[in-house]
Structures are given as C-alpha cells and as structure tokens.
Chain A
Amino acid sequence: MSILIIGAGPAGTRAAEVLVSAGLRPIVIDEAPENGGRIYQRQPAGFRRDPRTLYGFEAAKARAIHDVFDQLRPSIDFRPRTLAWNLRQGVIDTICDGKASAVPFAQTILCTGAMDRAVPLPGWTLPGVFTLGGSQIALKAQGCAIGAKVAFLGTGPLLYLVAYQYARAGAQVTAVLDTTPFAVKAAQAFGLMRGGATFAKGLYYIAWLRARGIRIAEGVTPLAIEGSDRVELVSWRDARGTNHEAAVDAVAIGFGLKPEAQLADLAGVPFDFDPVQHNWVPRKDPSGRTSVGGVFLAGDGGGIRGADLAEAAGARAAWAVLAARGLAADARAVARLDATLAAGASFRAALERAFPFPAKLAADMADETILCRCEVITAGELRAAANEALATLSPSEVNRAKALTRVGMGRCQGRVCGAAAAEVLAAALSCPAEQVGRLRGQPPVKPIPILPAEAA
C-alpha cells in the first residue's frame, strides 16, 4: 500500500528523502506546477534569476531542497498540479488537469503548509490589496511587485522580510506598519536570541530598512485603506494616538500565518486552540503521528514552526511512518531530529509571543467593515446574528453563525475570514475565542470543477 505525501515543500521533500532511503517509493502530490512549496517556490520555466536574488539569505537552503528533490525524482511518484481535495478513511481524492482520482494510502504525511492570516479592515477588498505571502510569491515566482508604492501592514517576522525583499527588488516601500508594539517584542528578546541566525536576520532586515529611511511604525492601529477604484491611501493611528496617512498604490497585509489543516480536519484529527496565536492546531505527537491511524503531520500544516523545522519535522514524520510499517529506524538520526525540533520549539514560542495575533483589532472591527469578502457579509451582520443567537439559540459557535449569516460560506470556505469571524463572534457573545470553535472542514478543501462522467 502506498505512502502519500501531500505537499512538496521543505517538509514533504525531507519526508520523501527518508522514505526513499528506506527503499520505498512514496507518491508526492503538490498543487503547484513544481516542487519547493511556497517558501522555496521555483520560478516558471524560462525564468533565469539566480537563487540569491530569489531567496536572499535562504538561497542555500532553497538550493539544497531543490537539489534533494531533483535527485529523488526517479525514485518517487511526483504528481504536480494536483489538488488533494478530500481525505477519508485510507483514500485521498485528487484532481489533476481536470482528471479526478481516488488514491488509496496506508500512510499519509500531510505537509500542507501555511497561509496568511488577514484581519479585515475598511477597504481591504479594494484592488491593490494583497496578503503578505501573496505579494512575496508575486515577487519570487513571477518577478512582479504588487505596486510601485507599497505599504506593508500587519505583524509577524514576514512583514519585515517581504518589505526588505520589495525594497531590494526596486519597489518603493512607503511604510512598514506593525500592529505589535516594540515593548511586546523586546520582552521576548531573550527567547528570540535562542533563534541565533534567524533572529539576527530579522534584526538585519529592520536595520536595513531604517538605514534607507523607510518609515517603520510599531504599535499602530490600522484605520483604513481607501481609493475609488483601487488603493490610493492607507491610514493608521500611531502608538501615541496621532493619525497618519500615506499615498500608496498597493498594500500587503498579513497577521502571521495559520496552518492549512483542512485535510487533517477531514481525516478526523482533533484540534487544539493556541492561545497566543489564536490558531486551531491539529493534534500530533512529537513525531508527527496523529490519533487517526495512518495520518501524520509535518511542517506548518501541523502548527506554525517555520521552514527550517519543517525540514526536520518532515524527516521525523517519515521515520514515524517507517515505524508504523514495522521497519527499522536509524535511532541516531531520529534522536538528532528530535533534538532539533525540541531546540527550535523554544525560539518559536518566543517568536509567537513577540508577534501575537491582534485579536482585539479583529474583535473591534467596525460594523460596516466587510468581514467575509466572498459572500460580502459585514461584521455588523455577524454581530446582529450573534445577539439573536444569544437570546434564542445559545450556546453559539461559528458554524451556526455561518449557517445563519453566510460568513465563511463562499469560495474560500472561511480560510480567509474564519479567524477574524471567530473573534468578532466571541466578542459579541462576551466569551473567549476558543469557545466559539472553528469552522468545520467540508470537501472540497479548495474548489473543484464540475466534470463530465468520462473524466471522473
């Protein structure tokens, strides 16, 4: 029976490497046309930029992952451009170039990565607003900037990295607006130092931006993104309460990352609430094994830990798969991976505390702000339903709110608005965000086309 790896990023690549070294031939599925994942995304055929330009400090790691994968190609069954849209007992349903398949597995390692978290703001649906990760991919994969004068708004380490990459690429970075106050980050300085090079790089990006006179504001409250047909202006309130605005033609927003864990959800893996990042994280043991037989997790899809630890987690999960198949493990390799993962965890915890999810910003969103952009539902509509629910149908939770208001019911199935919707609902019900739960996964995890019988 097959081993199925979903996702050919850092975690999936290292998982495949271990399995191949044990003489197995895993199936590796990825939505993208090529391997590398979002972080080490390969450029389209015909593009000739060197890795240093594309990946900066991470060029060596990107090249290593690409090289390993290229060497693995003859020994794995690689299926790019393939969406894994459903997971049920022992089967993953996929679609590739309009052709559907049901792929059976004995074990699967879900390396499904992360996606940006957005906090809806007035004007966030205007053309010219992108997520941070999306603006980074535009640059990395296509060599495009999202605008000529760009503001970066949100929080998290990616904010400074992408601003740096844009400035290096020649875009005008108008402002970097961080919702986390400096003091919150400074309080984590000791823990962050354990990150060594990673921490140093973060400081370098900030220093580089400052040295070029790029405006960096910390502890801001975003006010609005404005424009008639597209983005023209971004406004914010600084930590001292003064309002500012800047003329821009694009805004990248991002408030940290969330695991892309829909397949784990469909598998029936239980989830836990992370009180710092306000993420729902699928439960797994340190090796990546879940309570659902045959389902393993690695990389950011099993909880945000970054690309370096994703490599270790991918390899570690592969060893766990081998153990599940009754094959011998390399005890020293496993011990090394466990040590790497444990050491990384404390830095990661400090990083998450340094850039906490701005739950209050989401909870306080103005009534007229569009919360669910697919279905065009405002925060006020959700609050009105919550007040009604409080009176009639308590206790309330996000799936009921979805049924009554359509929040999270559109094309993205709540992947974009779900986290903010939970904050708005919880605040309206005066309960912790954890209590309103999370939107249940329903297949397909991403849209699939209606197909004629012969393709199915």
Chain B
Amino acid sequence: MSATSTDVLIVGGGGAGCSTALHLAKRGARCILLERGQIGGQASGVNYGGVRQQGRHPAELPLARRARDIWAKLPKLIGTDCEFEVTGHLKLARNQAEEADLIAYLDVAKANGLPLIMIGGNVIHQQYPWLGPDVVAGSFAPDDGAANPRLLSPALARAARDAGADIRQFTPVSHLAHDGTQFVVTSGEHEFRARYLVNTAGYWGGAVARAFGEQVPVSPLSPNMLVTEPLPYFIAPNLGVVGGDVYLRQIRRGNVIFGGGRGQSDPDVPSSRPSPEASAAVMAKALQLVPQLAGAQVIRSWTGIDGEMPDQIPVIGLSRTTPDLFHAFGFSGHGFQLGPAVGAIMSELVLDRHTDVPLEPFRIDRFAADQSFNQQGQRHDASHHA
C-alpha cells in the first residue's frame, strides 16, 4: 500500500471542506482534501442558494456575520462572485402567530448587529404588490441575498488548488484511525497520513466521528427543490416564511427557484431523489405567497444529501476524544451561506488553536450531556435554506 504524508487531511469536499483547504493553503499549511465523488456534489452544490442571516439560530449569527463579510470579498478571494447578489431577504408571516415570531426575532438580530426592517401588512402589499393576500407582515434583511450553489465549492476548490492544496476527487475513504502519532486514512490501496484531520463530510461526518468513538445523532436531510422556466423578472428579494415550509427566489435570467419539504435519499449508495408529494405541497405553498406563479412550468426538481442535527445547528469544533481532530458537519440544510467562514475558522483552529467565533453551542458532545442545548428560548428557523 502506497502512502502520502501531509500536515492536514480534510475529509469531504463541500463548501466547508474546500474553504478549509483554501484558508490552510493560503497560510502555507500542506493539506490534502479527500472527496468521495465530485466537489460540491451533495448538499453544497444542489441547495437553494440562499445567502441568508435572518432567521438563524442565535448561536449561528456570529458565524453567519463572518461568512457574510467573506461573501462580499469572494471575487478577491477566489476570483468569482459565484453570482452572489444582495437581493435582501424578505421573511413573511402568514398569520398573527408568525408575525409575533418575526417581532420576537428583532431583538435577537439587534443583539447580533443584523439589520432588519419590519414591514406591516398594509405597506408590504404596496411594496410587493405580487404577494398573496395571506401574507400579513414581513421582515426584510437588506444585507442578505442569494448565490449560485453549483459554482461555490468548485471555485473554492480551484482557488485552494492554486494556493497549493491537493484536491482529490473520487477518493472515497474506507478507513480512518489514529496510530498514536498521526492520523491514517485509507482510500482503496492508498494511505494518507497527517498530524491533523478535519471532518467536513456532511451527513457522513457522523461516520467519521464514530470512527474516533464519538456518537452523533446526525440523520440524512434531502431538501426538495424545484425550478421553473424563465418568467419576466419581478421577484427581487429572496423570500422565506416563518417555519420555513417554503422558500422562493427568482434569478435575473427569470427562473424561479423554490423549495420546501423533503425528498428521499439513501446515503449508503449514495442516491437521492425529489418527492412528487413534497413538490405538489410546496407548489401550493409557493402559490399562496405569489399567486401569479399559477401555471408557470416547472422544468426540473432535485435534491441532495445534507446532515441534520436534532437541534438544527451544526457540530463545529474540537473532537472530545481525539487530539488534533476537528469537526464541521451537520449543517442541517443551511450551511451554504456559512461555508466560506467555516473554512476560515477551521484553519484557525488547526493552526492557532483558537478562533474568535464562539463555538461552544456547536460542541460535539452536547447530545451526550444533559439536553441543555437550544436553551436560548428563541424559535429558530428550521427551514432548509442553504
């Protein structure tokens, strides 16, 4: 069996893994990224494309704020903006309870420096005359937007390679261990050795953690997505709702991209496919928000596989069993926006042993201890916005 040595091994080539490779390589660390399939082939590449801070769990907001700063600098960092556009994110309430939820979140946003504008029932229908009558209020996040998810991970991978990272696609990992001195990761007839291991393997991050004795309740999540043929452009903001059962945006070339509910998946193959029942349900919900979409032709539906945690926030940080092992997975359907920052943070954890972003809420052993997570009392958004 042949062997390759490096400083850092990264398992999983989605947004988090590719940006980890990029930030490590930029600081001169040698790293190899191992991806089973193609870069960005699962959740990072097939998600909705929301670049959204509004509605996030309070624990995620510092991370999301940092990510948003990086999104603004993407062209400088990786040579492309990945079609990122600051469209604003308009989160809609369809009844009084949902409106109360929007109002309650204003304090969370304020505490985290996230600008939000509450829009009442009268004004919202003047400002967005195409909204359906069931919409009673909205909360507008002017800094939020959307980007093209198919472009981000490959662009991060390309920039990482240009900075010196070794990106290996079609390199499935069959065995992971620590031999007392370093990590030994096997792929086919090849061994990779490194002092540090970064686990950015999405749903499969649970299996990587288990290889080092850490049990994590991560389950597969397949957001159900659809896109219409191009229509005249009229929906500027990225739309969401309280509860997250539908999300919808229109890109400038006219296609309306929307999602909600779940597809089916078999992560062992891996394979995933959209669900006709979920598609029918989300079509009806999309029409409730924007009635004039009735009759628009859906040309494609799709899904992929992400990892979902019981409390809807990821695992990020140090392993509790194995020194020099770092986790970042289980983004629960909303990791796309975070990916660029996750890599920066992981590179800091590896190289500096410290990061300024508070990671305590994301610790991997939070489920083993008393169930004290999510104690902020805020209802966070369980939607599958990426």
Contact = CB atoms under 8 A, between A and B. Distances in A.
A81 interface: no
Counting chain A CB atoms within 10 Å of each CB, the highest count among B229, B274, B280, B294 belongs to B280
Given A392-B154, A392-B157, A442 B302 contact: yes
Given A410-B299, A456-B283, 8 more contacts: A88-B276, A102-B277, A404-B150, A409-B300, A411-B229, A447-B229, A447-B299, A452-B294
B104 interface: no
Contacts of A451: 280, 283-284, 294
B299 A400 contact: no
A420 B45 CA distance: 25
A325 to B, nearest CB: 26
Interface in A415-456: 442-444, 447-453, 456
B284 A442 contact: no
Nearest to A449: B295
A443 B287 contact: no
A197 interface: no
Given A450-B287, A456-B283, A93 B276 contact: yes
A403 interface: yes
A213 interface: no
B5 interface: no
B342 interface: no
Counting chain B CB atoms within 10 Å of each CB, the highest count among A266, A392, A413 belongs to A392
Contact of B276 (A410, A443, A449, A453): A443
A391 to B, nearest CB: 8
Contacts of B284: 451-453, 456
Contacts of A449: 294-298
A1 interface: no
Interface residues of B, number: 34
A409 B287 CA distance: 24
Nearest to B167: A392
Contact of B299 (A86, A388, A403, A411): A411
Interface string A374-406: 000000000000001000111100001001100
Nearest to B160: A392
B171 interface: no
Contacts of A86: 276
B299 A450 contact: no
Interface in B264-308: 273-274, 276-277, 280-281, 283-284, 286-287, 293-302
28 contacts: A88-B276, A93-B276, A100-B280, A392-B157, A392-B158, A392-B167, A393-B39, A393-B157, A395-B170, A403-B45, A404-B154, A409-B300, A413-B300, A443-B273, A443-B276, A444-B299, A444-B300, A447-B299, A448-B298, A449-B297, A450-B228, A450-B295, A450-B296, A450-B297, A451-B294, A452-B284, A453-B280, A456-B283
Contacts of A403: 45, 150
A450 B300 contact: no
Nearest to B280: A456
B151 interface: yes
B38 interface: yes
Nearest to B273: A88
Interface string B26-62: 0000000000001100000100000000000000000
B130 to A, nearest CB: 14
A417 to B, nearest CB: 14
Counting chain B CB atoms within 10 Å of each CB, the highest count among A393, A394, A409, A450 belongs to A450
Contact of B298 (A93, A400, A410, A450): A450
Contacts of B167: 392
Contact of B154 (A393, A442, A444, A448): A393
Nearest to B279: A443
B380 interface: no
A392 B153 CA distance: 12
Contacts of A93: 276
Interface of A: 86, 88, 93, 100, 102, 266, 388, 392-395, 400, 403-404, 409-411, 413, 442-444, 447-453, 456
A444 B276 CA distance: 9
Interface in B129-160: 150-151, 154, 157-158
B161 A392 contact: yes
Contacts of B154: 392-393, 404
A86 B286 CA distance: 21
A134 B276 CA distance: 31
A333 B161 CA distance: 63
Contacts of A410: 229, 299
B316 to A, nearest CB: 27
Nearest to B283: A450
Nearest to B276: A93
Nearest to B256: A450
A443 B294 contact: no
Contacts of A393: 38-39, 154, 157-158, 169
Contacts of B302: 442
Contact of B301 (A88, A392, A443): A443
A94 to B, nearest CB: 10
Contacts of B157: 392-393
B66 to A, nearest CB: 27
A400 B153 CA distance: 12
Contact of A444 (B281, B286, B293, B298): B298
A442 B151 CA distance: 20
A450 B45 CA distance: 24
B300 A404 contact: no
B232 to A, nearest CB: 15
Nearest to B150: A403
Contacts of A404: 150-151, 154
Given A404-B150, A447-B298, A102 B276 contact: yes
A452 B300 contact: no
Interface in B298-338: 298-302
Contacts of B287: 450, 452
A449 B231 CA distance: 13
A100 B284 CA distance: 13
A365 B157 CA distance: 30
Interface in B217-232: 228-229
Contact of A450 (B151, B158, B169, B293): B293
Contacts of B301: 442-444
A93 B275 CA distance: 11
A396 to B, nearest CB: 9
A264 B240 CA distance: 36
Contacts of B228: 450
Contacts of B150: 403-404
